[in-house]
Structure 1
Amino acid sequence: MDPAEWRLELATPDHSIAEFTYPQVLQMPRETLSMDVHCVTGWSRRNTKFQGFMLREFLAHHEIEIPLTCAFVRFLAYSARGHDTSIPLAMALDEAWLIHSQDGFPLPHAHGFPLRVVVPSRYFYKSLKWVKRIEFLEEDRLGFWERTTGYHNEADPWKEQRLDATRFSSREECESFKQLPNFDAYRHIDGDPRVIVRANFSAWDPQTRDLSGLHLKSCDFSHANFKGVNFQHANLTFGNFKGADLTGADFFGADLEGCDFSGAILDDTRLERNFL
């Protein structure tokens, strides 16, 4: 992103309120935020130092009036996938920061250059990178990770609010899923995949070997027979594959963050371009 072309827009869904250039953003007094970063995948980075300013100070400095009917803030990013997230307006005004530097240096692109949001009390997926638009909403909208991977919309690390998606209500419902001849209906629901969490798929031997693109998070796959299964581009975050037979399985492009492969058979297993 060329900072000369970058713009930060403040808006409601219906109209633009104001727009700022990168030099205008940098004119705000710089403050330092020291915080512990908590990632939803389980790692933390202690005493991280960011430089920027609080959102409420930015709004006050530029005399931005938020419509009285608004109760949520949505942050949108410059990204090919259209990343976004939202938090309650009260939370945004209480603790959200706009960050342009880390440890005294401009943010690397991978960490959000030229500007990112940081919400200290939430898991870090609520701290949107590459922010381009701040939108004030009357009703909440689920963000990219919340609607596509089932991440929890409140994202409180102290309550371990990681996932909020479909859970099977009975063993029979889970068994019915396991016996499906294909899973096309679970790949795209209104344009997004259906996310299933914390299901017991232990000792599963699926009828089809095509499980590509499925979102099965925090599930138990222990001792499953996945010989030759196509898991390409599946999201299997926090999956338990202990003792599973993964001979010839294809995990190309799959999200495997937090997965446990202890004792699994990995002969001729394809692990390439994975998120680990």
Structure 2
Amino acid sequence: MTDPRLPCGQQWAAPGKWPLVGERWPDPALSPTELTIEGCCAFPQTITLEQIASLPPTTLTLDIHCVTRWSQKSLTFRGVLLRDLLSESQPKPSARFVAYIARSTRLHSTSMPLADALELGTLLATHVDGEPISTEHGGPLRVITPGRYFYKSLKWLMKIELLEEDRLGYWEAAAGYHNHADPWLEERYVSSSLSRADALALVTSRDLSGKELLSLDLRGHELSHLQAVAAILRNSNFNRCQLLAADFSRANLSNATFCEADLRGAQFREADLEGASFLGANLSGADLRGASLLGCTFVSGMAQPTCQIDRTTQFSATALNMLSTLEAEFIAAHALVS
């Protein structure tokens, strides 16, 4: 039975688990105690966290949905509404977009239309479930954007910029993440710009090593012995492919689908498999040691077929901590875990 609270392609994380995705720590050289508001506004300002804490608080309970396919139920955040915080800065009519900049070593950011941010009830949160948000989860001040994938809820908020024109954030520009990011529309990535002819030429060569090719649709192809070492193939469709002895070592395959694919003897050593689906795939003899498995799907409680693994399928024991209880127990019972 379909869970009406769960967008397509998502799975619930284990209760109490909030997986860490992306950067783990902010830049220690940058101040964690101030927030700057600037750009298209009448009164740019820098305010302290103490001043923010003195504003009327708002509490918001919502489900969160990560682009790497895990979701968590009913987290309660407390903080200040973006609308309230911006009221004193007085955005100008020309302010059509809002950008959030993080206190990270690369100052990563995200953005969205200002009207959308206000309509969604964006919260600048200091607490979750009654406790201060931990540093690794984006504290002391994190953007919470309801109704969008969680990369639009920026960690370690340091600056808000009001813009006339949009400016793509880090994940949108560097990783091809969708700028609108609606989980109910599965807006995970932008579509591949590769032409069908160019894609077929690469398939014929069977060498994708080092290539960056988002959202490839290769379903049903014969790709045995494919070389894709260190390739970036996020959100690609390998469903029902023949991938005997394919080498995806160190590849980024986040949100890729391998449903009902023949992956016997395939190499996934140290690959990024976050959010990948292997339902119905044959992973006999495959090596997934060192791979990141956050949000991976190997078994489903629904009608979809479970993947095929045995004692020749290798996993790292530490990787099982990233999986749901159902997935971890299935792998521990059937695969070789070391």
The one-letter code sitting in structure 2 at the alignment partner of 1:130 is W
Work out the CA distance in 2 between the residues paired with 1:216 and 1:178.
23
2:168 paired residue number: 142
- Whichever structure has more strand as a proportion of its residues is 1
Can you list the C-alpha shifts for 1:29-73, whole angstroms capped at 9, x where unaligned?
A: 222223333334142413x3221111111111xx21334433211
Match of 1:45 among 73, 81, 84: 73
* Matched AA of 2:71: W
> Which of 109, 112, 122 is 2:138 aligned to?
112
Distance 1:142 1:222 in 2: 36
Q: In the TM superposition, what is the alpha-carbon distance from 1:195 to its structure 2 partner? A: 3.5
Decide whether aligned partners of structure 1 residues 27 and 112 sit closer, same or farther in structure 2, where only a CA change above 3 A counts: same
**One of 180, 185, 195 as aligned partner of 1:154:** 180
- Match of residue 76 from structure 1: 101
Q: CA deviation at 1:243?
A: 3.6
- Indicate the residue corresponding to 1:229 in structure 2: 267
**1:128 corresponds to 2:166:** no
Question: CA 1:176–1:42 in structure 2 vs 1: closer, same or farther (change >3 Å)?
Answer: same
2:59 aligned residue (23, 29, 32)? 32
- Please list the CA deviations of residues 126-158 of structure 1 after superposition, one character each: whole Å capped at 9, or x if unmatched: 111211111222332333333444433212233
Q: Is the CA contact (8 Å cut-off) linking 2:98 and 2:114 kept in structure 1?
A: yes
- Quick one: percent identity of the two aligned structures? 28
The residue number in structure 2 matching 1:195 is 234
2-side partners of 1:158 and 1:187: how far apart? 24
What is the SS of the residue equivalent to 2:44?
Answer: strand
SS class of match (2:154):
coil
Give deviations 1:180-200, integer Å, cap 9, x for gaps: 335223289xxx956353344
Ranges in structure 2 where 5+ consecutive residues have no aligned partner: 1-25, 215-230, 300-306, 324-338
Q: What TM-score do you get using the length of structure 2 for normalisation?
A: 0.65
The equivalent position to 2:203 in structure 1, one of 167, 172, 177, is 177
CA-to-aligned-CA distance 1:228-261 (integer Å, 9 cap, x gap): 6244243452332634335252442434523326
Runs of 4+ in structure 1 deviating by more than 6 angstroms, as ranges, are 1-4
Q: More displaced, 154-163 or 166-175? A: 166-175
